[in-house]
Amino acid sequence: MKVNNMETVDRIFDLLERAKEKFSFKDDILAGKENGQWIKYSIHQYIEIVNNISFGLLALGVKKGDRIATITSNRPEWNFIDMAILQTGAIHLPIYPTISESDYRYILNNAEISYIFISGHEIFRKIEHLLPEISSLKGIYSIKPAADLKLLSDLIEYGKVNPNETLLQEIKSSIQSTDCATLIYTSGTTGKQKGVMLSHRNLISNFLACSDIPPYGPECKTLSYLPLCHVYERMMNYLFQYMGYSIYYAESIATISDNIKEVQPQIMTSVPRLLEKIYDKIVSTGSKLNGLKKIIFFWALRQALSFELEGANGLLYEIERKIADKLVYQKWREALGGKLSIVVSGGAALQPRISRFYWAAGISVIEGYGLTETSPVIAVGNFKKNGVKFGTVGPILPGVQVDFAHDGEILCKGPNVMLGYYNDMEHTKKAIDKNGWFHTGDVGQLEPEGQLRITGRKKEIFKTSFGKYISPELLENKFKESPFIDTILIIGENQKFAAALIVPDFDYLSLWCAEKEIPFSSPEEMVQMPEIKKRFQKEIARFNKYFGATEQIKRFELMPKEWSIETGELTANLKLKRSFICNKYKDLIDKIFDLKSDTTFNGVS
């Protein structure tokens, strides 16, 4: 398959032979941290391990089309297992390590899993009691010791003593680009999860179409922290292997800051939430400065937040930005390893002010958009003319077609569109119409210069009792520009007005309390204090001015704790689980819309 005159890659595992030819000089094609040390793998080690796992799987009787699951955080071993599965013609089903017991039960049974690879004891403890319920299961292997389970290293040794090169080559030769490579269950923000079937061609067409965006050669390093079981990070993982970049896997989200400084990557993938957290931390650090240093810091910050692309602010601004770079921005980059210059952001909308902040500081943030069902990219920014426009997700990806339904829903057609949902023809027919258009469920529009702007999620747009439509994501993204707000959920379907549940940015709020000499003992106490509620009333009123009367937030409640994957409010890729939140906080929401209650009212009519 050729895209943009790139070289042929027909099946995902063809990346290995290509890397063997082009990048054999590298000793860190993949790297993971073990016991405080980075363990690096060359392409030759990579291929040897993959082949031995494939031999082991074939000796176990694995056949084309068998479903094999992995449940592990990012690590080189994820790639070894992935490529080994694909070489045998089996289908790889990566599963988030953070999902609920009911989700594990449903996915493992629905997909009729034959083998499972897990990271270690913690995962085994979560699924151990479910295993007898999975009638299709033949075995489970662990990367790290867990109970009395067989280890991945045992399977590698089994493959070494049972090599069958002839059979493996026959199977590899029989695999077509249109064969199903992976089964990915959607994260389930609403309703029951569906298994998305993606072919080799689906994923390859996507990363080849993106391959002319990064300007680096094989000297480049990247740090991976987003879950590889999510199609976004997985596609980028293949792209980086295609480009010959060294991929280092972060130990965890908690260690990202240290890992960035150690690895010094030039490019990373991210989600808006992390970029916002880094921004907040930098601003928080600046707030603690004194005297002239503080004045210079916030002057530079104001400069960054007013950044425009292609020197649109004029020569004087660019001169001032260079001064700000010498005095301030350079230190921001050093905190991110010193070499980071490109961040690809996806999964949710990024606030334009956050984009401006990073671009001004010399870190180009390009946004992308897509779904699991589209492998995933439909549109993404690039470095060509009109390749980036703040507030958009960039131009349509080469080879992908986009159209719009009468209600503004984005429709997509191309080699990236999924094969269908596993064992679910009903939902497949609903998602892909008779003309081959995939219905994304998102609403958007094309800008005059060709960039795609997302304006909302079709299913999440709701009507008030007065018949006025509200797009919650549009409002949420604007309100999150407030340094006081970490997360916000807009509610109000069939109600007389829009309201919100707000998770404060407790770090920023603590600094504000210290500056105002307001004592507090805990976040729970903080959100109940009249001074805090009054400050949030002021903040809501400030941002309400950007919206019409029917869209403005009339009431809100402050949440006493951050929302997280563990507490259920966020999906594994950090999106709001709206239906879950509304169910979990139903009593609080009922209180908000009870006009006789004493719920905070911001006084906006």
pLDDT in tens, 489-527: 999 988 989 999 999 999 889 989 988 889 988 999 999
pLDDT at residue number 2: 43
Whole-Å CA distances, 207 to 3, 6, 370, 378, 434: 9, 11, 13, 11, 27
Ranges of CATH 3.30.300.30 domains, the chain: 462-592
Give the C-alpha separation, 547 to 557, whole Å: 20
pLDDT classification of 331: cutoffs 50, 70, 90: very high
Give the C-alpha separation, 412 to 418, whole Å: 11
Ranges of CATH 3.40.50.12780 domains, the chain: 14-175+213-265, 269-457
Q: What is the pTM of this model?
A: 0.86
Q: What average pLDDT does the segment 59-74 reach?
A: 97
Q: What percent of the chain has pLDDT over 90?
A: 79
* Dihedral sign, Cα of residue 335, residue 338, residue 339, residue 342: positive
CATH superfamily of 269-457: ANL, N-terminal domain (3.40.50.12780)
Asked if the bond preceding 376 is cis, omega within 30° of 0, the reply is yes
Q: What average pLDDT does the segment 38-43 reach?
A: 98
Give 464-494 pLDDT, tens digit per residue.
Answer: 877 777 888 889 988 988 989 999 999 998 8
Give the C-alpha separation, 41 to 52, whole Å: 15
Report the CATH architecture of 462-592.
Answer: 2-Layer Sandwich (3.30)
pLDDT at residue number 307: 97
Give the C-alpha separation, 274 to 256, whole Å: 10
Burial call 255-284: b when 16+ CB within 10 Å, e when fewer: ebeebbeebebbbbbbbbbbbbebbbebbe
Average pLDDT, the chain: 92
Q: What percent of the chain has pLDDT over 70?
A: 96
Residue 603 reports pLDDT greater than 50: no
Q: What average pLDDT does the segment 515-542 reach?
A: 92
pLDDT classification of 63: cutoffs 50, 70, 90: very high
Q: Which of 211-225, 421-435, 500-514, 564-578 is predicted least confidently?
A: 564-578
Give 166-186 pLDDT, tens digit per residue.
Answer: 999 999 999 999 999 999 998
Task: Name which CATH class applies to 14-175+213-265.
Answer: alpha beta
- The answer to whether 95 and 69 have CB atoms below 8 angstroms apart is yes
Answer with the residue of higher pLDDT: 499 or 6: 499
Give the C-alpha separation, 412 to 200, whole Å: 19
Closest CA to 390 of 440, 449, 316: 449
Answer with the residue of higher pLDDT: 373 or 511: 373
pLDDT at residue number 351: 87
Contact partners, residue 125, CB within 8 Å, separation at least 6:
none
Q: Which of 110-114, 121-125, 520-524, 570-574 is predicted least confidently?
A: 570-574
